């Protein structure tokens, strides 16, 4: 037994097992955050994914985030090379990745340092650290270990437990690098008292494409880790689970998008590989076989969107999925789809930009590109899912809107949702979500291919195969008969008809719900007759709903709402709204904004801070949603945004809120 | 054409419509007088008539350029899209609706410059469609800029002292692509050859690539002038399995009996020579067609929902 443990976690001898059982410290918490980090290639991500799924399946609320190095093969044992997973789970629903990890399993001290540098650990975190480096044959590595440990100890009051992972795994496998992840899974399974059968089932799922012996080896390693932990660790952590009556499923956002596309009846996904969008097409590549669908890997992103448009033009709505650089390439075609009124769904799983930027990291900086990236006036719909669950349902909505409004719908997901895993209520599938079979009945004589309703701009779609409907769709300015026309009236009318559709959609949307404000206080927005005497109604209508309203969109919802909860618990008067529709914006925004002293967007894209050097009211660059909201509502909307290459933490947002309310720095 | 009633179609009744050439004529073509595109349009309309293609099941896809106005002049479905991007759109249409008769019209800038990668990949996908390259050796619509197929030294508005580079050879290029299954060359000023070539190309199952040498009276009149006047400058590739318009032998004395299955000879013949070679360079009926490789069984809505529910089971908590 290694006695080098810095804390009282060591166990003197095997004979004390029973005594230990009596000494076990069981820490019960409502929620906790675990990280597993290794060099890339050592499989910490698989370990984390399995552990996260098991937690969800046992009935914990959970949210997992991948820790990804930017390169595929970063140098081993470097702080920047850490790869793995963060799993935050609790008794109640978990909506974001939280602030800091309470327990970390690290495969070497350098990747652990990387996490510490990023402020990812709670100051009292428990650290389970592979200790093979301490006695490594290479002296430089030994030195690194010593230096590393010194830094680690200086950084916090961590409980460091050295774990002989290598030594243990070598009992079963020749190459321990390929086994430690399952050993680590065993450690976690024991510490958090997870259902071993479920763990095995998840291992089986994870390695379903591999042979039976691989599965068995992995289970053996997991059990070895479990045994080591039960013998050597004197604490257990209990995060009570609750079985909910609502059946749930657990998956990541890209799988949800893929499944949502199937549920929406979209049978063609045309794409070109790009992180972090690609995994959706991996999922579909496998799943589509069972549904009669096709993932077409095109020669580039331009061709991919062209294929999707061709397919949509000729029949059912198809979609393309990409990330920032690919979105840039698709813009000309998106403008064409808008002009031709061919329904189209474009999914952009955003990553850090500009240029190649941060290929694996979350950012929300494509909003402007999605809205305005096309040349000319190309009105279309832009939506953003806020949760994994919404990733699924948004595809059904997007397809329906694209078809009903004969337009393009851009769906803005991001790397956080793409790789994050969260349980959500199992969708109750409906055959009506699917597309109806093609209608090839004759097209009425004298009915133009763009039979625009003058009021709404809406028109019925005609597709090849319909006798009498023959027309040449054209990207040139055209009349309702699709005849090329350069005269002022025709172009004015075409632009108007395409634009009008957005106004019609906007009127069908609901005002956003305010989070934080008690529902009884909700301002009267939209329809419905107000209750009470005239005085009461007027009072209510003029009432202030708080000091600060946060406005978010996309994957930040959970973190923003948690920050609101914590701020309110501190007595701060803060609420939030979260927008699913960015184009058109939902109704009621200005009315809601007016009830708050201040309005501030919270986003993962760049903005100037008001007190930055050279920054003045005149030149401050706002974050992207703030820019839009200011233009649309004429309200002096402020913003707080960061581009950390990772999801926002609720604690960070809370700090920003405190600071804004204290300093009152508003522009 | 006999008029169908609302009741005729979609009820399994016999469709006995007969189509005349004018049934395929869209709006009046607005190309310049003397433009070779007129003759190609006529040949195409004749082809549709000969094949009795139903206008509603026929789609013409194009890019942007003078030649890409093609779909407007056909009374079929049409898609006049983006410069260089006709082929991806056609790919999508064919994947979704393999039963449609699909035609693609491209200019030389369209196909060989901005759309070159799609051209290469469409050749490799080998989907069943007829792609015609209306090659006037120049950018027409944008008024006389050098194109990849402009002959070296020929002046243009962007290279007024003469085009610097040797011209790209679309026939050799296509023949070099894996899965090329049909490659032919013809000239719009020899209508019988043009028509026959289009017909054989249309009947080929797979990606039929036909380069049509096309006069532009405004910018490249002189390039083809001699070949138009002097039949001696033309060599016809003939074969029982190729294009062999018997009467043309009287005018064009130079013929070469070339078996279109012979790829090596095709590649040699594609190299520049003293004469313009017209005919089928290569045809291979055995290359798999992408839309068939990717064809999957279709399922009912109930089946889909059932399968998706099974899929959700795998992810159930
Ligand atoms: C993205 C883009 N770039 C450039 C153009 C301008 N443009 C239109 S047609 C054309 C070239 C036309 O030449 P070609 O393809 O040979 O066809 P032709 O007009 O000779 O038939 C160009 C450069 C465009 N429409 N779109």
Say if B64 is an interface residue toward chain A (CB within 8 Å).
yes
Which of chain A's residues have a Cβ under 8 Å away from the Cβ of B22? none
pLDDT one-digit tens code per residue, B184-222? 999 999 999 999 999 999 999 999 999 999 999 999 999
Q: Which tokens go with A592?
A: 């809601």
Contact status of A299 with chain B (Cβ, < 8 Å):
yes
Tokens 């290639």, residue located? A41
Instruction: Please provide residue B92's backbone torsions phi and psi, each rounded to the nearest 5 degrees.
Output: -65, -40
| Number of alpha carbons in the 13 Å side-chain half-sphere of residue A263 | 25
The token pair that represents A281 in the structure block: 């097409």
Q: Which of A295, A312, A394, A383 is nearest to A581 (CA)?
A: A383
Residue B127 contacts residue B203 (beta carbons within 8 Å): no
Residue B116 has which token pair?
């070159």
Q: What is the DSSP string of A603-633?
A: ESS----TTSTT--TTTPPPPHHHHHHHHHH
Length of chain B: 317
Given a contact cutoff of 8 angstroms between Cβ atoms, the answer to whether A654 and A576 are in contact is: no
CATH of residue B178: 3.40.50.970
Q: Is residue B252 less than 8 Å (CB to CB) from chain A?
A: no
Residue B1 falls inside a structural domain: no
In angstroms, the CA A173 to CA A170 distance is 5
Tell me which residue in B4, B91, B120 faces A310 most closely, judged by beta carbons. Answer: B91
With a 6 A CB cut-off, is B65 part of the ligand 1 pocket?
Answer: yes
Q: How many CA atoms lie within 13 Å of A423's alpha carbon, on the beta-carbon side?
A: 29
ipTM: 0.96
Q: Which of B100, B118, B296 sits opposite A314 (nearest CB)?
A: B100
Tell me, using a 6 A CB cutoff, whether residue B36 lines ligand 1: no
pTM exceeds cut of 0.90:
yes
In a domain, B134, yes or no: yes
Residue nearest to atom 6 of ligand 1 (CA): B142
* Cis peptide bond upstream of B146, omega within 30: no
- Quick check: A259 and B311 CB within 8 A? yes
- In angstroms, what separates the C-alpha of B106 from chain A's closest C-alpha? 15
Under 8 Å CB pairs connecting chains A and B tally to 204
Task: Answer yes or no: is pLDDT of B249 > 90.
Answer: no
Distance B83 CA to ligand 1 centre (A): 6
Q: Is A510 on the interface with B (CB under 8 A)?
A: no
Q: Specify the residue with its C-alpha closest to ligand 1, atom 9.
A: B65
Residues 295-314 of B with CB under 8 A from A: 296-299, 301-302, 304-305, 307-309, 311-312, 314
CA of B65 to the centre of ligand 1 (A): 5
**What's the total number of domains in chain B?**
1
Nearest residue to A607 via CA among A580, A627, A577:
A627
A566 min Cα distance to partner chain B (Å): 29
B259 DSSP assignment: -
Which residue has a Cα nearest atom 11 of ligand 1?
Answer: B139
Residue B147 Cα: closest atom of ligand 1: 16
DSSP at A113: H
Tokens found for residue A232: 């050597």
Q: In angstroms, what separates the C-alpha of A471 from chain B's closest C-alpha?
A: 5
Best residue in A206, A310, A444 for a mutation probing chain B (most B CBs within 10 Å): A310
Q: What is the pLDDT of residue A541?
A: 62
Q: Which domain holds residue B172?
A: 18-313
Set of chain B residues whose Cβ sits within 8 Å of the Cβ of A424: none
Sequence-distant (6+) residues with CB within 8 A of A463 are A313, A314, A315, A438, A439, A440, A469
- Within-domain flag for B43: yes
**Beta bridge mates, A575:** A549
A7-245, superfamily in CATH?
A: Pyruvate-ferredoxin oxidoreductase, PFOR, domain III (3.40.920.10)
Ligand 1 center to residue A560 CA distance, Å?
Answer: 49
Counting as low any pLDDT under 70, the low residues of chain A are 1-22, 70-72, 518-532, 536-542, 663-667
In terms of CA atoms, which chain B residue is nearest residue A449? B77
Write the class of the CATH domain A534-663: alpha beta
Which pairing describes strands B234-238 and B255-257: parallel, antiparallel, or unpaired?
Answer: parallel
> CB A307 to CB B95 under 8 A?
yes
Computed over its alpha carbons, how large is the radius of gyration of chain B? 21
Give me the pLDDT at residue B72, please. 98
Binning pLDDT at 50, 70 and 90, where does residue B296 land? confident
CB contact under 8 A, A251 and B315: yes
Could you tell me what percent of chain A has a pLDDT over 90? 87
Test B89 with A289 for CB contact under 8 angstroms: no
CA distance A85 to chain B (A): 19
Q: Is the CB of B142 under 6 A from ligand 1?
A: yes
Interface contact B44, partner A, CB < 8 A: no
Ligand 1 mean position to B86 CA, how many Å?
Answer: 12
Residues of chain A with pLDDT > 70: what percent?
92
What is the dotted CATH code of the domain comprising A249-433? 3.40.50.970
CATH 3.40.50.920 domain range(s) in chain A: 534-663
Taking the Cβ of residue B116 and every Cβ of chain A, the question of whether any pair is shorter than 8 Å is answered with no
pLDDT band at B46 (very low <50, low <70, confident <90, very high): very high
CA distance A283 to chain B (A): 11
- Ligand 1 centroid to residue A373 C-alpha, Å: 22
The atom number, within ligand 1, closest to the CA of B113 reads: 15
**Distance separating the N- and C-terminal Cα atoms of chain B:** 62
Strand order in the sheet with A31-38: A159-163, A121-130, A101-106, A31-38, A83-90, A61-67, A421-425, A248-252
Return the residue of B nearest to A249 by Cα: B316
* A464 CB within 8 Å of a chain B CB: yes
Give the DSSP letter string of A520-557.
GG----SSSPPPS-HHHHHHHHH---EEEEEEEEGGGH
Q: Which of B156, B149, B60 minimizes the C-alpha distance to B112?
A: B149
Q: Do A429 and B305 touch (CB under 8 A)?
A: yes
Distance, CA of A514 to CA of A267 (rounded, Å): 37
pLDDT, position A3? 38
**Are the C-beta atoms of B257 and B280 separated by less than 8 Å?**
no
Looking at residue A528, what is its pLDDT?
46
A309 CA: distance to closest CA in chain B (Å): 6
CB of B26 sitting under 6 A from ligand 1: no
């Amino acid at each position: 037994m290694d006695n080098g443990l810095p804390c009282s976690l060591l166990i003197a001898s095997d004979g004390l097992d029973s005594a230990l059982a009596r000494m076990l410290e069981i820490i019960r918490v409502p929620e906790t955050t675990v990280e597993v980090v290794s060099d890339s290639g050592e499989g910490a991500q698989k370990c984390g994914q399995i552990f996260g799924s098991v937690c969800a399946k046992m009935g914990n609320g959970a949210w997992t985030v991948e820790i990804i190095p930017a390169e595929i093969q970063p140098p081993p044992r470097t702080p920047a090379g850490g790869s793995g997973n963060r799993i935050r789970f609790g008794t109640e629903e978990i909506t974001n990745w939280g602030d800091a990890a309470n327990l970390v399993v690290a495969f070497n001290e350098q990747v652990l340092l990387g996490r510490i540098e990023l402020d990812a650990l709670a100051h009292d975190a428990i650290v389970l650290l592979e200790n093979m480096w301490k006695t490594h044959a290479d002296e430089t590595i030994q030195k690194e270990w010593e230096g590393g440990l010194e830094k680690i100890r200086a950084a916090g009051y961590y409980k460091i437990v050295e774990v002989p992972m290598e030594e243990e795994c070598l009992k079963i496998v020749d190459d321990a690098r390929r086994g430690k992840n399952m050993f680590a899974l065993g450690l976690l399974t024991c510490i958090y008292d997870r259902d071993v059968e479920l763990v095995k089932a998840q291992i089986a799922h994870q390695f379903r494409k591999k042979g039976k012996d691989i599965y068995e080896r992995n289970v053996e390693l997991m059990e070895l880790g479990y045994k080591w932990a039960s013998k050597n660790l004197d604490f257990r952590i209990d995060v009570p689970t609750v079985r909910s009556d609502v059946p749930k499923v657990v998956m990541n956002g890209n799988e949800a998008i893929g499944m949502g596309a199937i549920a929406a009846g979209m049978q063609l996904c045309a794409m070109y590989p790009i992180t972090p969008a690609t995994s959706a097409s991996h999922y579909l590549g496998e799943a589509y076989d069972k549904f009669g669908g096709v993932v077409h890997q095109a020669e580039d992103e331009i061709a991919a969107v062209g294929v999707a448009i061709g397919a949509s033009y000729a029949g059912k709505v198809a979609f393309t999925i990409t990330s920032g650089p690919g979105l840039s390439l698709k813009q000309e075609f998106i403008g064409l789809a808008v002009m031709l009124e061919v329904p189209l769904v474009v999914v952009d799983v955003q990553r850090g930009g500009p240029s190649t930027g941060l290929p694996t990291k979350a950012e929300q900086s494509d909003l402007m590109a999605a809205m305005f990236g096309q040349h000319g006036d190309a009105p279309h719909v832009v939506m953003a899912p806020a949760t994994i669950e919404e990733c699924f349902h948004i595809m059904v909505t997007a397809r329906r809107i694209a078809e009903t409004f004969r337009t393009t719908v851009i769906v803005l997901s991001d790397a956080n949702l793409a790789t994050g895993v969260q349980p959500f209520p199992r969708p109750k599938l409906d055959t009506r979500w699917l597309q109806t079979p093609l209608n090839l009945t004759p097209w009425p004589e004298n009915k133009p291919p763009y039979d625009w309703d003058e009021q709404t701009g809406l028109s019925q779609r005609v597709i090849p195969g319909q006798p009498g409907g023959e027309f040449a769709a054209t990207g040139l300015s055209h009349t309702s008969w699709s005849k090329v026309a350069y005269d002022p009236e025709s172009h004015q009318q075409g632009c108007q008809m395409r634009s009008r559709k957005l106004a019609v959609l906007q009127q069908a949307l609901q005002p956003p719900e305010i989070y934080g404000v008690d529902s009884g206080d909700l301002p009267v927005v939209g329809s419905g007759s107000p209750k009470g005497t005239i005085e009461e109604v007027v009072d209510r209508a003029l009432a202030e709903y708080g000091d600060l309203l946060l406005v978010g969109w996309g994957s930040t919802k959970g973190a923003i709402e948690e920050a609101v909860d914590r701020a309110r618990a501190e007595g701060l008067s803060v609420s939030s709204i979260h927008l699913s529709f960015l184009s058109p914006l939902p109704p009621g925004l200005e009315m809601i904004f007016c009830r708050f002293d201040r309005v501030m967007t919270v986003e993962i894209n760049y903005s100037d801070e008001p007190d930055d050097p050279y920054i003045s009211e005149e030149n401050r660059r706002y974050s992207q949603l703030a820019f839009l909201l200011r233009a649309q509502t004429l309200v002096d909307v402020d913003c707080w945004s960061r581009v950390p290459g990772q999801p926002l933490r609720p604690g960070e947002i809370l700090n920003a809120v405190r600071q804004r309310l204290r300093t009152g720095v508003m522009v | 054409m006999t008029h169908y009633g609302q009741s005729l179609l979609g009820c399994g009744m016999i469709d006995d419509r007969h189509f005349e050439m004018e049934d395929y004529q869209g709006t009046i073509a607005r190309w310049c007088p003397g433009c070779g595109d007129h003759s190609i349009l006529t040949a195409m309309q004749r082809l549709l008539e000969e094949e009795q293609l139903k206008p509603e099941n026929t789609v013409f896809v194009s890019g942007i350029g003078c030649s890409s106005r093609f779909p407007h002049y056909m009374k079929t479905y049409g898609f006049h899209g983006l410069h260089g991007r006709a082929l991806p759109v056609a790919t999508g249409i064919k994947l979704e609706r393999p039963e449609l008769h699909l035609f693609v019209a491209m200019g030389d800038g369209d196909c060989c410059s901005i759309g070159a990668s799609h051209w290469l990949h469409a050749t490799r996908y080998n989907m069943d469609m007829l792609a015609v390259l209306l090659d006037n050796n120049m950018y027409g619509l944008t008024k006389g800029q050098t194109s990849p197929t402009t002959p070296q030294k020929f002046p243009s508005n962007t290279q007024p002292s003469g085009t610097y580079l040797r011209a790209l050879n679309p026939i050799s290029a296509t023949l070099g692509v894996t899965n090329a299954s049909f490659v032919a060359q013809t000239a719009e000023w020899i209508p019988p050859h043009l028509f026959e070539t289009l017909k054989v190309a249309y009947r080929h199952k797979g990606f039929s690539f036909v380069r049509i040498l096309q006069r532009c009276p405004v910018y490249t009149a002189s390039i083809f002038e001699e070949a138009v006047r002097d039949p001696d400058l033309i060599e016809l590739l003939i074969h029982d399995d190729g294009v062999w318009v018997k009467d043309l032998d009287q005018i064009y004395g130079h013929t070469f009996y070339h078996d279109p299955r012979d790829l090596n000879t095709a590649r040699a013949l594609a190299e520049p020579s003293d004469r313009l070679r017209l005919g089928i360079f290569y045809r291979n009926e055995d290359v798999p067609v992408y839309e068939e490789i990717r064809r999957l069984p279709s399922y009912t809505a109930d089946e889909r929902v059932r399968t998706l529910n099974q899929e959700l089971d795998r992810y159930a908590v």
